[in-house]
Protein backbone atom coordinates (compact mmCIF):
# COMPACT_ATOMS: atom_id res chain seq x y z
CA UNK A 1 0.00 0.00 0.00
CA UNK A 2 2.47 2.63 -1.14
CA UNK A 3 5.10 1.62 1.43
CA UNK A 4 8.40 0.33 0.17
CA UNK A 5 9.66 -3.09 1.00
CA UNK A 6 13.19 -2.91 2.44
CA UNK A 7 13.95 -6.21 0.68
CA UNK A 8 13.15 -4.89 -2.76
CA UNK A 9 15.58 -2.03 -2.80
CA UNK A 10 18.32 -0.82 -0.48
CA UNK A 11 17.06 2.20 1.40
CA UNK A 12 18.84 5.49 0.72
CA UNK A 13 19.40 5.87 4.47
CA UNK A 14 21.45 2.68 4.45
CA UNK A 15 23.35 3.69 1.31
CA UNK A 16 24.33 6.96 3.01
CA UNK A 17 25.17 5.21 6.28
CA UNK A 18 27.41 2.68 4.53
CA UNK A 19 29.01 5.22 2.19
CA UNK A 20 30.01 7.61 4.99
CA UNK A 21 30.50 4.93 7.64
CA UNK A 22 27.92 6.64 9.85
CA UNK A 23 26.91 5.24 13.21
CA UNK A 24 24.52 6.69 15.75
CA UNK A 25 26.53 7.86 18.76
CA UNK A 26 26.53 5.89 22.01
CA UNK A 27 24.70 8.78 23.70
CA UNK A 28 21.97 8.71 21.05
CA UNK A 29 21.46 4.96 21.44
CA UNK A 30 21.35 5.36 25.23
CA UNK A 31 18.85 8.20 24.87
CA UNK A 32 16.64 6.10 22.60
CA UNK A 33 16.72 3.18 25.03
CA UNK A 34 15.75 5.48 27.90
CA UNK A 35 12.99 7.05 25.80
CA UNK A 36 11.53 3.65 25.00
CA UNK A 37 11.53 2.73 28.69
CA UNK A 38 9.82 6.00 29.65
CA UNK A 39 7.29 5.59 26.87
CA UNK A 40 6.32 2.06 27.85
CA UNK A 41 6.07 2.98 31.55
CA UNK A 42 3.78 5.94 30.78
CA UNK A 43 1.68 3.99 28.28
CA UNK A 44 1.27 1.10 30.74
CA UNK A 45 0.17 3.50 33.48
CA UNK A 46 -2.54 5.16 31.38
CA UNK A 47 -3.66 2.25 29.23
CA UNK A 48 -6.69 1.26 31.30
CA UNK A 49 -7.42 4.35 33.34
CA UNK A 50 -6.97 8.11 32.87
CA UNK A 51 -4.43 9.58 35.32
CA UNK A 52 -2.88 12.91 36.30
CA UNK A 53 0.85 13.58 36.05
CA UNK A 54 1.43 13.16 39.83
CA UNK A 55 -0.51 9.87 39.74
CA UNK A 56 1.62 8.59 36.86
CA UNK A 57 4.74 9.71 38.77
CA UNK A 58 3.67 7.74 41.84
CA UNK A 59 3.08 4.63 39.77
CA UNK A 60 6.17 4.78 37.53
CA UNK A 61 8.76 6.45 39.76
CA UNK A 62 9.50 8.94 36.96
CA UNK A 63 9.71 12.66 37.75
CA UNK A 64 6.71 14.86 36.92
CA UNK A 65 8.57 17.19 34.53
CA UNK A 66 9.74 14.28 32.36
CA UNK A 67 6.28 12.68 32.37
CA UNK A 68 4.57 15.91 31.37
CA UNK A 69 7.12 16.60 28.58
CA UNK A 70 6.56 13.18 27.03
CA UNK A 71 2.79 13.31 27.54
CA UNK A 72 2.63 16.60 25.62
CA UNK A 73 4.82 15.17 22.86
CA UNK A 74 2.52 12.14 22.56
CA UNK A 75 -0.55 14.36 22.87
CA UNK A 76 0.52 16.41 19.85
CA UNK A 77 1.14 13.18 17.95
CA UNK A 78 -2.43 12.07 18.72
CA UNK A 79 -1.45 9.10 20.90
CA UNK A 80 -3.14 10.20 24.12
CA UNK A 81 -6.24 12.17 25.07
CA UNK A 82 -7.29 14.29 28.03
CA UNK A 83 -10.19 12.97 30.06
CA UNK A 84 -11.39 15.58 32.55
CA UNK A 85 -9.60 17.68 35.15
CA UNK A 86 -9.24 17.48 38.94
CA UNK A 87 -10.18 20.29 41.36
CA UNK A 88 -6.46 20.93 41.90
CA UNK A 89 -6.05 21.83 38.21
CA UNK A 90 -4.50 18.60 36.89
CA UNK A 91 -5.76 17.10 33.65
CA UNK A 92 -6.20 13.33 33.44
CA UNK A 93 -4.67 11.63 30.41
CA UNK A 94 -5.43 8.29 28.81
CA UNK A 95 -3.85 6.28 26.01
CA UNK A 96 -6.01 6.44 22.88
CA UNK A 97 -7.28 3.13 21.56
Partner 1 sequence: MGEILERILADAVEEKEEKKYDVLIIGGGIAGEESALDLAEMGFKVLLVEKEPSIGGHMFLLSKVFPTLDCASCISTPRMAAVAHHPNITLMTYSEVKEIEKRGEGDFRVRILKKPRFVEESLCTGCAQCESACPVIVPKEYDFGLRGRKAAYIPFDTAVPKIAVIDIDHCVFCGQCEMVCPVGAINFLQKPKIIKVKVGAIIVATGYKLFPIGRKKEYMYGKLANVITSMQMDRVLAPTRPYNSVLRPLDGKEPMNIAFVLCSGSRDRTVGNPLCSQVCCMYSIKQAQLLMGALPLADITIYYMDIRAFGKGFEEFYQQAKDMGVIFIKGRIAKIEPTENGDIVVHYEDIENGGKLRKAVHDLVVLSVGLLPNPEIAKVFKNVKLELDEYGWIKQKDENISPVETSIPGVFTAGCIIGPKDIPDTVVEAAAAAAHVAAYLNEVRRGGE
Chain residues in the site for partner 1 (CB under 8 A): 2-6, 11-17, 20, 22, 24, 28-29, 31-32, 35-36, 52-54, 57, 64-65, 67-73, 75-77, 82, 85, 88-91
3-class DSSP assignment, residue 46: coil
Rounded to the nearest 5 degrees, what angle is found at the Cα of 63, between the Cα atoms of 59 and 69? 110
Please identify, using beta-carbon distances, which residue of 28 and 44 lies nearer to partner 1: 28
User: 80, 95 in Cβ contact below 8 A?
Assistant: yes
Query: Shortest approach of partner 1 to residue 8 CB, angstroms?
Result: 11
Amino acid sequence: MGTRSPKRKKLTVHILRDKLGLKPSKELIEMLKKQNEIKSKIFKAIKQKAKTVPEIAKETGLDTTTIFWYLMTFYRHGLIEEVGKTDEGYFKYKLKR
